[in-house]
Amino acid sequence: MSRLATEASALWSGLQARLQRLRGSDPTTPTTPTTGTPLIRPSQVGVDRVLVGAVLGLLAFGMVMVYSSGAVFAAKKYGDAAYFLKREMIYALLGLGALSVATRIDYGLYRRLAYPLLFLSIFLLAAVLKIGSRAGGAIRWFRLGPLSFQPGELAKLALCIYLAALLARKAEKVRVFSIGFLPPLLITGLMMGLLLKQPDLGTAAIFGAVALGLLFVAGTRTSYLILAVLVALPAGWKFIVSTPFRMRRMLAFLDPWAFRRDVGYQITESLISVGSGGVAGLGLGDGRQKLFFLPEAHTDFILSIIGEELGLIGVLCIVAGFTLLVWRGLRAAVRARDVFGTYLAFGITAMFGLQALVNIGVVLGSLPTKGLPLPFISYGGTSLVMSLFSAGVLANISARNPEPHEGLIPAARHALKGANRRLDVGPRLVVEVGRRRSPNP
């Protein structure tokens, strides 16, 4: 007990110290001429290599597991065990391109594109309900020949950009109900409504959570947030109870073994899979559950196979990878050069973190079954490309580049010229823009 108390008090005093430092920093420190207020003055640290490393590590892990978990199914369905791997590699290459481009584009650009992107996303989300193709009972995809595109994935980034831009612009007015609270929630609600039509409850819930998280970070009155949650809960409950399959899923979640032969099948197979892996796992490629026992082994339930083949060690690697990603993402948010950057970085990070948590929670039976992929790991083209692009945006924010002064077009040109090559290996040149901060003011 005493040890715990000591640790807690140490933690508390550490926190106090940090708060003190926060308050103690010079409130009138000149900053780069931006509209937002930076939390910390830009210091040009370059792209966060830990952040990018975490993303690339998860991606590599994902490639291996997509092959291992999907080979048997692919061999049976397409006559080619590497079918999913090949497609995933193509998407990964596209995604790496997107990552590197996004890392080079100054994120300030998105602020100007916030509304076009938002309207495009809403339009596509609406359109997919009309002309999208159905798979597994949900309409989520546009099919373009061999490729497919999932507008929900684009909407994730668009929502983050929109909310970040809105909240950054409203600044202090976010505390006003009709300005800082209602508009973002209405837009988010609209998107959630369209997602629920697909139906895609998982993504909709993530959207809601990210929006509330951003509002919280932006300083919306806590009472509004509580109000929103209080309104959402009964609505969500009604939503679940009114759809029989959701209700059965909920029952299956509460007692999966009782529904082992029908709605609980997937979750019980997943638990069996994860559990049978033990600490060290059965060995990569030696899992049995992918022999058609576990549906969607290479997509939403890929972590089950990781748990079976690589054991607790494998699962903890994934958890650690996402923890690292979230930590570095929040760090980027805190250290962003302006509030828009802070909000955007937070939004993207929260998007990744929540998706990972929900997916892992589902696989481990802690949450009711949702159709959510595990970012960077699960098989799925749009998700991978968009996740990597978003990671690139995050990386760009983490770089704390100075804001280009040119307009929109020059900004883009500036970005494409490759002004920021922080991914390059080698000694980093730290360029301080604006007034150099002297060690002794």
Partner 1 sequence: MTISGRWTRVRIAVCGVVFASLFFAVGRRAFHLQVNDADRLRAMAEEQYLREIELPPRRGRILDRNGADLASTADVDSIYCNPRQLPDPRDAARKLSRILGVDRTDLERKLEQRRFFAWVKRKVTPEEVVAVKALGLPGMAFTREPRRFYPNRSLAATIMGHAGSDGGGLDGVELALDHQLRGTTSSVQGIRDALGRDIAVEGSVEAPSSAGSDVVLTIDRYLTFITERALADGAAAHSAKGAVAIMMDPRTGEILAMASVPTYNPNDPGGAEEAGARDRAITDVYEPGSTMKTFTIASALDAGVVKADDRFDCLMGRMMVGRYSIHDTHPHGVLTVAEVFKFSSNIGATKIARRLGRDAFADALNRFGFGHPTGIGLPGERAGVVRPVDKWGDIGLANISFGQGISVTPLQMIAGVSAIAGGGIYRQPRIIARAVGADGTIETLPVAPDRRVMSASAARTMLGIMRGVTEVGGTARQAAIDGYNVAGKTGTAQKVSNGHYDPSKWVSSFLGVVPAEDPRLAIIVILDEPQGGHLGGAVAAPIFKEIAEQALRYLHVAPTTEGVASGKGAPAAGKEALAAKAPPPATDADEAAANDAPATDLPLDDDALGEDPALAEKWDEVAGTEGGRAAGQPIERVVIPDFAGMSLGQAIHAAHKNGIELAFDDPEGRATGVALRQHPAPGPAPRGVVCRVAFGRQE
Binding-site ranges for partner 1 (CB under 8 A): 19, 22-23, 25, 27, 37-39, 71-72, 75, 81, 171-172, 213, 216-219, 271-279, 288-289, 291-293, 307, 311-312, 315-316, 319, 322-323, 326-327, 330, 333-334, 339, 342, 346, 350, 353, 357, 360-361, 364-366
What are the C-alpha distances in Å from 181 to residues 91, 142, 178? 37, 33, 6
Are 277 and 339 a contacting pair, CB within 8 Å? no
Comparing CB distances to partner 1, the nearer of 37 and 241 is 37
Q: Tell me how far, at minimum, the Cβ of 75 lies from partner 1, in Å.
A: 5
The tokens of 173 are what? 């007015």
Are 281 and 313 a contacting pair, CB within 8 Å? yes
Q: Tell me how far, at minimum, the Cβ of 288 lies from partner 1, in Å.
A: 4
Residue bearing tokens 């994860």: 274
Max Cα-Cα span within the chain = 71
Comparing CB distances to partner 1, the nearer of 15 and 182 is 15
Q: Tell me how far, at minimum, the Cβ of 223 lies from partner 1, in Å.
A: 15
Q: Tell me how far, at minimum, the Cβ of 76 lies from partner 1, in Å.
A: 8
Q: Tell me how far, at minimum, the Cβ of 348 lies from partner 1, in Å.
A: 13
Burial of 358 (0-12, 13-18, 19+ CB in 10 A): buried
CA distance linking residue 70 with residue 76, whole number of Å: 10
> 195-222: string of b/e by CB count within 10 Å (b at 16+)?
beebbbbbbbbbbbbbbbbbbebbebbe
DSSP helix, strand, coil percent of the chain (3-state; round to 5): 70, 5, 30
Q: Tell me how far, at minimum, the Cβ of 60 lies from partner 1, in Å.
A: 20
Comparing CB distances to partner 1, the nearer of 374 and 384 is 374
Comparing CB distances to partner 1, the nearer of 23 and 130 is 23
Comparing CB distances to partner 1, the nearer of 46 and 347 is 347
How large is the C-alpha radius of gyration of the chain?
A: 23
Residue bearing tokens 């780069």: 32
Q: Tell me how far, at minimum, the Cβ of 319 lies from partner 1, in Å.
A: 5
Q: Identify which of 241, 291, 301, 244 has the alpha carbon closest to the alpha carbon of residue 268.
A: 301
Q: Tell me how far, at minimum, the Cβ of 179 lies from partner 1, in Å.
A: 15
Question: Up-side HSE of residue 391: CA atoms within 13 Å toward CB?
Answer: 32
Comparing CB distances to partner 1, the nearer of 128 and 218 is 218
CA distance linking residue 409 with residue 413, whole number of Å: 6
CA distance linking residue 120 with residue 158, whole number of Å: 9
Comparing CB distances to partner 1, the nearer of 38 and 202 is 38
CA distance linking residue 62 with residue 430, whole number of Å: 34
Comparing CB distances to partner 1, the nearer of 56 and 324 is 324
Comparing CB distances to partner 1, the nearer of 138 and 272 is 272
Comparing CB distances to partner 1, the nearer of 13 and 366 is 366
Q: Tell me how far, at minimum, the Cβ of 334 lies from partner 1, in Å.
A: 5
What are the C-alpha distances in Å from 287 to residues 173, 260, 281, 283? 55, 20, 9, 7
Give backbone dihedrals phi and psi of 144, rounded to 5 degrees, phi first. -125, 85
Q: Tell me how far, at minimum, the Cβ of 129 lies from partner 1, in Å.
A: 29
Comparing CB distances to partner 1, the nearer of 89 and 225 is 225
Q: Tell me how far, at minimum, the Cβ of 254 lies from partner 1, in Å.
A: 16
- Residues 6 or more apart whose CB falls under 8 angstroms from that of 240 comprise 246, 247, 250
CB atoms within 10 A of CB 352: 24
CA distance linking residue 79 with residue 66, whole number of Å: 16
